[in-house]
Amino acid sequence: MSKDGLTVLSLFDGMSCGAIALREAGISVKQYFASEIDRQAIRQTQPNFPDTIQLGSVTDVKVSELPPIDLLIGGSPCQGFSFAGKQLNFSDPRSKLFFEYVRILREIQTYNPDVKFLLENVRMRTEYENVISKELGLFPVMINSALVSAQNRARLYWTNIAVRRVDNLFGHTIHTNIPHPSDRRIYLRDILDANVDSRYFLSRKEIDRLVKVREYDYKEIPVFHESGLFDLDCEYCGGDYYDFQHPIIREYVSDNRNIYKSSIELPSEVKRVPLSAIQNEHLIEGLSVNSNNTYVISGAIVSPQFGGGFRPIMNGKSPCLLATSSNYAACLIINGDDMALRKLTPAECCRLQTVPEWYEWICSEAQTYRMLGNGWTVDVIRHILHYLKI
C-alpha cells in the first residue's frame, strides 16, 4: 500500500457505496477502479467521484493491466440466492458472476497474498453460503443494518480485514471477525420528514386496489382470521422475516418503537380514508379513535405474489429496501378515525441506507429508489472498514 492511500478495485460498483464508506471512514484512496455496466449508475457515480476509473463489465477486468490492488470490494448480484426470488442459486447467470469476483481475487493474490477483500450478499440457503465460504476461504458474519439505521436489512459479509481461527477435530476454520456495531436504536419515526408532498400518498383508488388484492386468510393465525388490508400477520416482506407478537395491537401503542404520537402533518389535498371501512376494527381497538393524536406505523406495500396489501412491521423499522418497485417501504398515518398511506421519499430511503447528505443525486427518482435498493448500507461498510490496519 502506498503512503498516498489505498488502491481499490470495486466490482459491481453501482452508486459507489464503497467509495462513500471509504470517505466517511476517513481512509485515503490513491486510486479507485470501478467495474459497472449500468449506465445510470455510472452517470450517478462520476459527478460524486470524478477520479473513479471505470472498467466496464467484470468479465472484462484484467488484473494484469491494473496497478497493485490493496483492497477488493463488491456485492455480487444476489437475485439467484435471495429468499424473495426463485432461488436459482448458481444457475442464475447473475449469481454466477460471483466466480468472476473469485477469479479476480485469485489473480490479485498471485502478487499480493495479503490483499484485503470484502464481499457482501443476501442471506441464503446454507448450502449456497458454504460454496461461497469455501471459495473465499472463510465464513461470513451476518450484520443487520437495523443496528445502525431504521431499516431491517440482514446481509452476509465475507472479509479478511479481521479474522479469527477456530480449531476443531479436522484442523481449523477461518471466520470473519467483525463485531456487530452498537445498536443506535434508530426507528422509522426518527427519519421521517414531517411535511411530504401529496404525490407520495396513495390515492383512494390505489388503496381500494390493495384492499381487493388482500383477500386471503392465514389459518395458522386465528386471532386475525378476517381478511383485510391491514391484517397483522407474520409475513415474508421484502427479503426479511419479522417477528410477530400477538394478539392485541394495543400492546404496541405503549411501545414507542412502532406506533407513536407524532408531529407528522398531512397535506390538505390528501383525502382521508375512513379507517373503519377497511380495518375490520383491528387497529381501532387499540387506538384512541375520536382523538386528535397522530400515529405512524411502519410497514411495506407488498406485491400480489406475496399476498398484497400493507404489512405492518412490529419492530418499528422499515422493510428492506428493494431494487424493484413491486414491494416498497411505506408508512401508515392514523389520526382519529382517518388514515393515509404513503411510500417513503427518496430522501428518507437515503437515510435508511445511511447515505450522507453530501452525496449528490442527479438521476431520476425511480433510478434513485433502484440504486438504493441495490446498494449497501454505508455505515455498515464504514464499520467494517474501521478494522483496516493502515
Which residues belong to the active site? Answer: 78
Run of H or E residues at 276: helix 276-279
Three-class DSSP category at 54? strand
- Nearest-10 Cα torsion for 358, 362, 365, 370: -80
Amino acid identity for residue 384 in this structure: I
Q: Which ranges of 57-216 does DSSP label H, i.e. alpha helix?
A: 98-109, 126-136, 188-191, 204-213
- For the chain, give the longest Cα–Cα distance: 71
SS3 content of the chain, % helix, strand, coil (to 5): 30, 20, 50
Residue whose C-alpha cell is 436459482: 88
Strands (E), 169-259: 171-176
d(CA 273, CA 80): 40
Phi and psi (nearest 5°) for 30? Answer: -80, -50
Instruction: Please report the DSSP string for 40-67 in residue order.
Output: HHHHHHHHH-TT-EE---GGG--GGGSP
Return all residues near 319 (Cβ < 8 A) that are at least 6 apart: 151, 152, 237, 238, 239, 240, 299, 300, 311, 313, 327, 329
Q: Which amino acid is at 27?
A: I
Sorted by sequence, the CB contacts under 8 Å of residue 197 that are 6+ apart come out as 267, 345
- 360 touches 47 (CB < 8 A): yes
Q: Give 7's strand partners.
A: 31
CA separation for the pair 179, 185 (Å, rounded): 17
Helix (H) or strand (E) holding 294: strand 294-301
Q: How far apart are CA 75 and CA 135, in angstroms?
A: 15
